[in-house]
C-alpha cells in the first residue's frame, strides 16, 4: 500500500482528520480537487460555535477570525418576538481557515496534493484499497471527507448499509452574499436568524456580522416547487439593505439525521459526505470537525489492530459518533420535520405565547431535547387562546424527539445488530406524522 490513510477532501473536515492521523505517525495523503489557495472557498455563513471547536479539539488561528460572536437573535415571522440566545462563537475568513488547516495537517506530517480530482474508489476483494483520479493511489484506509457531492459513497457495496444519496426532502438549497459596509448595519457580536416560511420555506434568512463585512443569505428546503435561493436572497435584500456585494454563491446542505452507518471495509465517511450537519441550523463545520476527530481516533485504533481494517475494526467510529452527536442530530431532525410544516402564524404564535422560549431553544441547541413549557401550555388553554391542534402537535413532536434520541443512543455495538437497528430507525422516521 502507498499510504496508511488517504483523506479525500482537504476542507474543514478532511484537514482536521489528516492532521490528527499524521500527528500519530501514520503515513497520510490528503487530496483535494481545488488548488490550495481556494480550499475553503465555498458558499457558507462562515459561523462556528466555540463549544463545537472545543469538542473537536480545534483551535482557530487568530488571523482567520473576523468577528467574535456572543449569541444569536431568532426573529419570529411577524417580527414581534426576538429570542436572544447566548452562546459564544466566531465568524471566520473561510478561505484563510481552509489554508491554515491544510498547513497544520502538512506540519503534522501529512502529504498534501491539490488539484487532484478523485473519480472513484478502488474496490478489490470486497474492500476499498484506494482511489482513482489522474493516478491510482492505494491505502490501508480511505477517509471520505469530500462533501455532499462525494464521488466515493455512491460506488460502495450495498451490503455495507451506507446510504448513497441524500433525498431532496432532506436537503436545503442555500445562497449567500458577502456585503461590504452594509447599511443599515447589523448589530456586531450577534447572528441574526429570521424565520419566514414564504421567503425561506423550511429554512431561515440569516444576517451574520464579519467585521466590516456582512454575510446575508437564506436556505430553503428542497421540497416541491421550492424557490430559487439566489433570487429569493436578492429580492429579500432589495429595499432593506444597501452595500457593495463582494461575493455571492450557493450550494446544497444535507440537513438530515446521520447516515445509519459511516464505515465500510477500508473506508470511513466524515463531514458532509456522511451528512453530519445540524438538521435545524444547517451548521456543519463544527460537527464535521467532530466527526473527523472520532473517525481519526477509530481509524488509528483499527490500523493498530489490523493490517487492512474492515467494518468490524472501524465500527467504533459509528458508535462514538452516534452517542456523542448523532442522537442529538436525530432528535433535531424530528424537530426539523415539524418546523417545515408550520405556517408563519404558527411560528409567531409559538414564540410570542411563551410555549417555546429562549430556554427551550437553548436546550434544543445544546442537548437536542425539546421540552415545551407545559405551565404555559395550561395557561394558554385556560386563557382560551386558540390553536389546540398546535399544542397537541408540539407535545407529539417533543415525545418523538425523545424517541429518536433513544433509538440513536441505543446504536448497536457491532455490525451484527446493524440491520435490525436500521429497520427500527427507518420505520420510526417514516412514521412521523408531520
Ligand atoms: C450557503 C451555506 C451556508 C452555510 N453556513 C454555515 C455556517 O454558517 N456554519 C456552519 O457550520 N456550516 C454552514 N454551512 C454548512 C458547511 O458549509 C458544511 O457543513 C461544511 O463546510 C462541510 O465541510 P466538509 O469539509 O465536510 O465538506 P466541504 O466543505 O464540502 O469540503 C469538501 C472538500 O472536498 C473536495 N472535493 C470534493 N469532491 C472531490 C473529489 N472528487 N476529489 C477531490 N476533492 C474533492 C472539495 O474541493 C472540498 O474542498 C453552510 C452551507 C451552505 C451551503
CA-nearest residue, atom 37 of ligand 1: 146
**What is the Cα–Cα distance from 321 to 316, expressed in whole angstroms?**
8
Instruction: Read off the pLDDT band of 355 (50, 70, 90).
Output: confident
Instruction: Read off the pLDDT band of 353 (50, 70, 90).
Output: confident
Strands (E) across 195-339 are located at 205-210, 213-221, 242-254, 263-264, 267-269
pLDDT value of position 379: 60
Instruction: Read off the pLDDT band of 239 (50, 70, 90).
Output: very high
CATH of region 169-254: 3.30.9.10
Q: Structural domain boundaries of the chain?
A: 3-67+89-164+256-325, 169-254, 330-430
102 or 398, higher pLDDT: 102
pLDDT value of position 387: 66
How far away, in angstroms, is 44 Cα from ligand 1 center? Answer: 8
CA-nearest residue, atom 30 of ligand 1: 147
pLDDT tens digits for 44-88?
Answer: 999 999 999 999 999 999 999 999 999 999 999 999 999 999 999
Instruction: Read off the pLDDT band of 198 (50, 70, 90).
Output: very high
Instruction: Read off the pLDDT band of 36 (50, 70, 90).
Output: very high
pLDDT value of position 323: 95
What b/e sequence results for 326-356 when a residue is b if at least 16 CB atoms lie within 10 Å of its CB, and e otherwise?
A: bbbbbbbbbbbbbbbebeeebbbbbbebebb
Q: Is the pLDDT of residue 377 over 80?
A: no
Average pLDDT for 150-176: 97
Q: Is the pLDDT of residue 385 over 90?
A: no
Instruction: Read off the pLDDT band of 156 (50, 70, 90).
Output: very high
- Which atom, in ligand 1's list, is nearest to the CA of 40? 49
pLDDT value of position 26: 98
Strand order in the sheet with 205-210: 47-49, 82-92, 65-75, 190-194, 205-210, 213-221, 171-183, 242-254
Q: Does the CA dihedral 15-45-192-339 come out positive or negative? A: negative
pLDDT tens digits for 285-327?
Answer: 999 999 999 999 999 999 999 999 999 999 999 999 999 999 9
Nearest to 372 by CA among 344, 343, 402, 340: 402
Mean pLDDT, the chain, integer: 94
Average pLDDT for 174-203: 96
- Assess whether the C-beta atom of 286 lies below 6 angstroms from ligand 1: yes
- Assess whether the C-beta atom of 151 lies below 6 angstroms from ligand 1: yes
136-144 and 267-269 strand pairing? parallel
How far away, in angstroms, is 414 Cα from ligand 1 center? Answer: 30
361 or 215, higher pLDDT: 215
CATH of region 3-67+89-164+256-325: 3.50.50.60
Q: Is the pLDDT of residue 255 over 80?
A: yes
The model carries a pTM of 0.95
- Which atom, in ligand 1's list, is nearest to the CA of 219? 1
pLDDT value of position 354: 79
Phi-psi region of 430 (alpha: psi -120 to 50; beta: other; left: phi over 0): alpha
pLDDT tens digits for 125-147?
Answer: 999 999 999 999 999 999 999 99
- Assess whether the C-beta atom of 210 lies below 6 angstroms from ligand 1: no
Amino acid at each position: 500500500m502507498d499510504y496508511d490513510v488517504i483523506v479525500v477532501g482537504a476542507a474543514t473536515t478532511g484537514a482536521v482528520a489528516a492532521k490528527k492521523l499524521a500527528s500519530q505517525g501514520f503515513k497520510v495523503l490528503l487530496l483535494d480537487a481545488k488548488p490550495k489557495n481556494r480550499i475553503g472557498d465555498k458558499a457558507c455563513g462562515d459561523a462556528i460555535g466555540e463549544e463545537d471547536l472545543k469538542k473537536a479539539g480545534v483551535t482557530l488561528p487568530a488571523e482567520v477570525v473576523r468577528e467574535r460572536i456572543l449569541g444569536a437573535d431568532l426573529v419570529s415571522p411577524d417580527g414581534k418576538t426576538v429570542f436572544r440566545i447566548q452562546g459564544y462563537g466566531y465568524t471566520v475568513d473561510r478561505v484563510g481557515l481552509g489554508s491554515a488547516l491544510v498547513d497544520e495537517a502538512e506540519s503534522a506530517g501529512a502529504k498534501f496534493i491539490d488539484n487532484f480530482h478523485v473519480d472513484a474508489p478502488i474496490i478489490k476483494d470486497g474492500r476499498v484499497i484506494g482511489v482513482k483520479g489522474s493516478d491510482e493511489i492505494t491505502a490501508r484506509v480511505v477517509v471520505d471527507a469530500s462533501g455532499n457531492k462525494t464521488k466515493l459513497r455512491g460506488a460502495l457495496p450495498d451490503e455495507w448499509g451506507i446510504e448513497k444519496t441524500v433525498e431532496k426532502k432532506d436537503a436545503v438549497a442555500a445562497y449567500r452574499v458577502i456585503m461590504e459596509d452594509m447599511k443599515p448595519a447589523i448589530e456586531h457580536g450577534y447572528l441574526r436568524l429570521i424565520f419566514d416560511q414564504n421567503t425561506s420555506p423550511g429554512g431561515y434568512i440569516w444576517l451574520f456580522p464579519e467585521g466590516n463585512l456582512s454575510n446575508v443569505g437564506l436556505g430553503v428546503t428542497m421540497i416541491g416547487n421550492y424557490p430559487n435561493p439566489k433570487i429569493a436572497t436578492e429580492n429579500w435584500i432589495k429595499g432593506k439593505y444597501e452595500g457593495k456585494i463582494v461575493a455571492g454563491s450557493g450550494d446544497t446542505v444535507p440537513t438530515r439525521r446521520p447516515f445509519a452507518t459511516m464505515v465500510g471495509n477500508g473506508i470511513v465517511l466524515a463531514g458532509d459526505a456522511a451528512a453530519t450537519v445540524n438538521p435545524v441550523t444547517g451548521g456543519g463545520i463544527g460537527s464535521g470537525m467532530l466527526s473527523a476527530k472520532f473517525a481519526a481516533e477509530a481509524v488509528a485504533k483499527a490500523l493498530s489492530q489490523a493490517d487492512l481494517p474492515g467494518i468490524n475494526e472501524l465500527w467504533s467510529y459509528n458508535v462514538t459518533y452516534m452517542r456523542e452527536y448523532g442522537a442529538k442530530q436525530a432528535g433535531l431532525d424530528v424537530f426539523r420535520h415539524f418546523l417545515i410544516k408550520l405556517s408563519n402564524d404558527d411560528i409567531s404564535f409559538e414564540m410570542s405565547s411563551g410555549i417555546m422560549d429562549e430556554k427551550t431553544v437553548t436546550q434544543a441547541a445544546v442537548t437536542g431535547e425539546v421540552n415545551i413549557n407545559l405551565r404555559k401550555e395550561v395557561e394558554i388553554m385556560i386563557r382560551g387562546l386558540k390553536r389546540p391542534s398546535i399544542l397537541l402537535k408540539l407535545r407529539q413532536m417533543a415525545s418523538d424527539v425523545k424517541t429518536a434520541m433513544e433509538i440513536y443512543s441505543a446504536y448497536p455495538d457491532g455490525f451484527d445488530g446493524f440491520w435490525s437497528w436500521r429497520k427500527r430507525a427507518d420505520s420510526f422516521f417514516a412514521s412521523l406524522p408531520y
